[in-house]
Structure 1
Amino acid sequence: MTHTKDRFAFTKHLVSATLLQGDLFQQHSRTFPDSALETTVEAYPSLDKARLKTELSLIYDDEEFQNCSGALALYQVLMANNLQDTFTETVSLLNILITTPMTTSESERPHPCEEGHHCKAPSQPLNPPPPDPTLVRKDTIARRPRNP
């Protein structure tokens, strides 16, 4: 139960994603999202807060970056222009966010039985059949200890 609570309590990555949401870049260029940056650095303490803020400020003010639709598009622009060494902290954050699932859609989807579908028990048991003794490797039999 604790594992489940811990898993669903971690939502800081969702806040972090707003830092790299392309449609917010113009808004962020007017008012920097300091609270989202703080939450991001708490979630990912390996990030250099001051450097990340500087990099993001440059990104928010640049029209080419403002045309990016999201994290993946921004990542592709940075890579295509060989800017990964210039925007190191942003690339680190992008790598985290691109590889972190934003939702757990499987757990949010109702089971077919809950949707009103008729669920029947399987016609055969789910236990696997016993192993076929003719398929046992002979070399494993030879290594078994003998009973005195």
Structure 2
Amino acid sequence: MLRLTTLLIVLSVCFIAWAGDCPAPLPINLHYDEALDLQVFFDNTPAVATPLQLYAGDKLVHSAIADQSGRVRFGLLPDGKYRVVIPSKGTLDVVVLPQRSGLNGPLISWFLFPKSKYKWVAGKQVAGNPCPILVLKAD
């Protein structure tokens, strides 16, 4: 029984260490005249037909499904704080500023890795990169 308890403690510590390895992504800042355009990838493959939800606080503002290239356009949003959620896969914070930019908004590429195969030894990553990556491209 002591060995089983020790094993469970070691496994939970490894899981906690693994879960905390990725830093929290910084929020994306947009101006109120810039549209929120996302392109989502899983393992460098477009996330086709993936459902996304946009929240303002706890209130669901918009739901969308990614197209054949993994793109979703939420459009212009009033200033405030938002959260884009892909259920069971990831979240992305967005802050819409009250100032005008006069420019087109960036295309935000969001790379998630839910299908990747990684090897973990004693709670340390051996191959691959499980952390999400954000890339902003000016239109």
Q: Same fold (TM over 0.5)?
A: no
Task: Pick the structure with more strand per residue.
Answer: 2
Relative to the length of structure 1, the TM-score reads: 0.24
Task: Pick the structure with more helix per residue.
Answer: 1
Higher relative contact order structure (alpha carbons within 8 Å, sequence separation ≥ 6): 2
Relative to the length of structure 2, the TM-score reads: 0.25
